[in-house]
Structure formats: C-alpha cells, structure tokens
Amino acid sequence: MDGETRSFLNVWLTAIAALCYCYYVTASLPPWKLRVLSLLPVIALFAALPLCISTVIPSGVTAFFLAWLCNSRLLLLAFDSGPLRQHKKSIPLFVTLACLPLNVRSESNRRGAPAARAPKLPFNWAAKILLLAVLVTANGTHCYKDANPKLLVAIYSCMLYLLIDVVLGFFINAVRLLTGVDLEPPSNEPYLSTSLQDFWGRRWNLVVTDTLHQSVYVPLRRAAEPFLGRQWANFPAILATFLVSGLMHELLYYYVIRAYPTWEVTWFFVFHGICVAAEVRIKAAAAARGSRWRIHPAVSGPVAVTFVVVTGSWWFFPPLVRSGVDVRVIEECNAPVKLLWKALEYIGARLNI
C-alpha cells in the first residue's frame, strides 16, 4: 500500500470515528450552545483532514464531502435542524448521510414536481461514465490542447458535470443498493435548464443546493423578513447564499491547488447571485402586474447554459488551468478509464463483438 492510499484510508477512518463521537454526543446533549461547543473540534478536524491528501481528485472529493457538506450538516444538527436530525436512531445511516453527498427523498418530493423529479433512463449513469471516459481519453492524447479556448472551456464544463454526476452517482447507487433507501439524484440534467434560477436552484448539484438552502438561504430570509418584508427578504438571502457558495468553492480550490486564493471563483458565484436575484425580482414584478409573458424555454434555456459556460471561462476555470490542476485531473482519471476500456474489450471478445 503506497503512502497516498494509506493517507486516504487514515483520513476516512478518522472521519468515521469522529462521526461516531458526533452521533453519541448529539444524542445526549441539548441543541444550541452545548452541542455547538461539542461539535466545534470535529468541524475543525474535518477542515484540516483534506490537507493530508496530495492527489487532486481524492483531496477534492474529501474536502467537498467533509469540509463542506459534512460540516454544514453538523452545524445544522447543532441547532436541531438539517437532514441528520431525522436519522439519529441508526448510527450506520447517520454516519453515511453525514459524510457522503446523499439526500433522502422526502414524501413531498415524491409527490411534488413530477417533471423535475422524473426518473432517469436505466442506462443514464452508465452512458455518462462512457462519455466521461471518451473525453478523458481524448484529452489524454492532447488532441484538445491546440483547440480554440472556448471549445476547451465547453469540454471542461461537460467533464466537470459528468465527473460530479459519476462520483456522486456512484455513492448514491451503492447506498441505495445496500440499504434500499430512496435517495435524491445528484443533479437533474442541468443542460435542460430554462433559466439561471432553474439551473442553480433545481438542476445543478442538488445536494449542495439543498445544503445551502437549509444552512444559509432559509435562516437569512427569515431574519430579513421583519425588516424588508416578505417581498424583498429573498433578495439578500439569495446574494448571501451565492457568496457562501463562492467562499466554499474558494476553499475547495485551496485544497486542490494549495495556493493563496485569487477570489475569481468567489466573484463568479457572487455575479451569478446578483443575476439570479435580479431574475427572481423581475419575475415577481411581472407576476404582480398580471403579466403572463415568458421567454420560450427553447430560447431561454440555451442562453442560460451558455451564460454559465461563458462566465465560467472568465472566472471559474482559469485558476484551475493556471495551476495545472486540469492536467492532473485528467492524468488521475486515465488509470480507471484504461481499466474500463480493457474491461469492455474483454467483454466484447467474450461476446464476439
């Protein structure tokens, strides 16, 4: 076992042990002050653990799972809120939901929003794995290095979406298979978004969306309502939610780049927060005037997705490209992709395809 694998295992064994401590502590202590004080050492530990891993994908995944999602859920639990509050009777389920990007599908989600929660095709996840493998293989041959920078950004955007969906989908499918728990999908086909609000609020990385909604948006909106009224309270809540998202992405970038932040990715999310808040406000004003005019989704959808990709080329991807993280990610993906191609070749040979 090499040193990096040993470090990865030690990090996750430490995290599981710490979460067992959280399970018993939160079961015996009341919410608020005592719970917060008891969980703060674990939150600090989870913020430091990703620094023990040097490879990009394992450190990035560990930082995303522990330093962001798990810490957010532990903070919510400290105030007797969030998804962990409902699963304190089973320690395996508590630990699994705390450290993995999983959301149990609620009854309201089962009954509501049928279009947004439509079941995916049986081979949807497998198709994404194959498409990601094709893009990684093509990038590994350096055939895109001399391509137009705009084309390269579009390819990287596709790879980012596929990588997130494949990694999160792996854990979701594994836990669903082992426990039978009905879990939310990692995303809801963001390329079909009809607006920025639809993209960020209902389609892209639903686990992060739900976490930010519970930990930032809802508390701030409730706090702002007495001062701004119900009509305007969501405006600062949206801006604060995107600001927190930007700062957390900046932290993730630090874990994988190991360099001082440039604040570009923070500005990317702040800018999108301003745009989403403006969109929500315009829609509310139009609805108040009784206007039913809407831009057709066939037009607004491509415009919204293109807007995300273009602004991503300005602020989201440059820190990763300058530091060479994009090249390291492709190199780290090459090994499992080669195994996948060999497995498919073996299956094809056995089936005489």
Cα 4 vs. chain centroid, distance in angstroms?
24
**What pTM value is reported for the model?**
0.90
The pLDDT tens digits along the chain (353 residues) read: 578 889 999 999 999 999 999 999 998 899 989 999 999 999 999 999 999 999 999 999 999 999 999 999 999 999 999 889 877 778 998 999 999 998 887 655 544 444 444 444 444 778 888 888 888 887 765 555 566 677 788 888 999 999 999 888 888 888 888 888 888 888 998 999 999 999 999 999 999 999 999 999 999 999 999 998 888 899 999 999 999 999 999 999 999 999 999 999 999 999 999 999 999 998 888 877 877 677 888 899 999 999 999 999 999 999 999 999 988 998 888 888 878 777 777 677 777 66
DSSP 57-111: HHHHHHIIIIIIIIHHHHHHHHTT-SGGGGG-S-HHHHHHHHHS---BPPHHHHH
- Residue 145: per-residue pLDDT: 58
φ/ψ (deg, to 5) at 291: -80, 135
- Residue 113: per-residue pLDDT: 44
Which residue, among 252, 164, 266, has the nearest Cα to 207 in the 3D structure? Answer: 164
State the Cα–Cα distance between residues 40 and 36, nearest whole angstrom.
6
In the chain, where the domains are located? 1-100
Question: Radius of gyration of the chain from Cα atoms?
Answer: 21
State the Cα–Cα distance between residues 51 and 243, nearest whole angstrom.
24
Q: Contact at 8 Å (CB) between 261 and 246?
A: no
State the Cα–Cα distance between residues 70 and 100, nearest whole angstrom.
8
Which residue, among 66, 76, 68, has the nearest Cα to 248 in the 3D structure? Answer: 68
With H, G, I as helix, E, B as strand and everything else as coil, classify residue 70: helix
**Locus of tokens 């739900």:** 210
**Paired strand residues for 183:** 104
State the Cα–Cα distance between residues 217 and 241, nearest whole angstrom.
6
State the Cα–Cα distance between residues 123 and 174, nearest whole angstrom.
15
State the Cα–Cα distance between residues 27 and 191, nearest whole angstrom.
42
CA distances from 287 to 53, 197, 291 (A): 51, 16, 6
- Residue 70: per-residue pLDDT: 97
State the Cα–Cα distance between residues 134 and 330, nearest whole angstrom.
11
- Residue 285: per-residue pLDDT: 84
With H, G, I as helix, E, B as strand and everything else as coil, classify residue 163: helix
Q: 168: part of which helix (H) or strand (E)?
A: helix 149-179
State the Cα–Cα distance between residues 343 and 167, nearest whole angstrom.
19
Of the chain, the end-to-end C-alpha distance in Å amounts to: 37
Q: Contact at 8 Å (CB) between 325 and 56?
A: yes
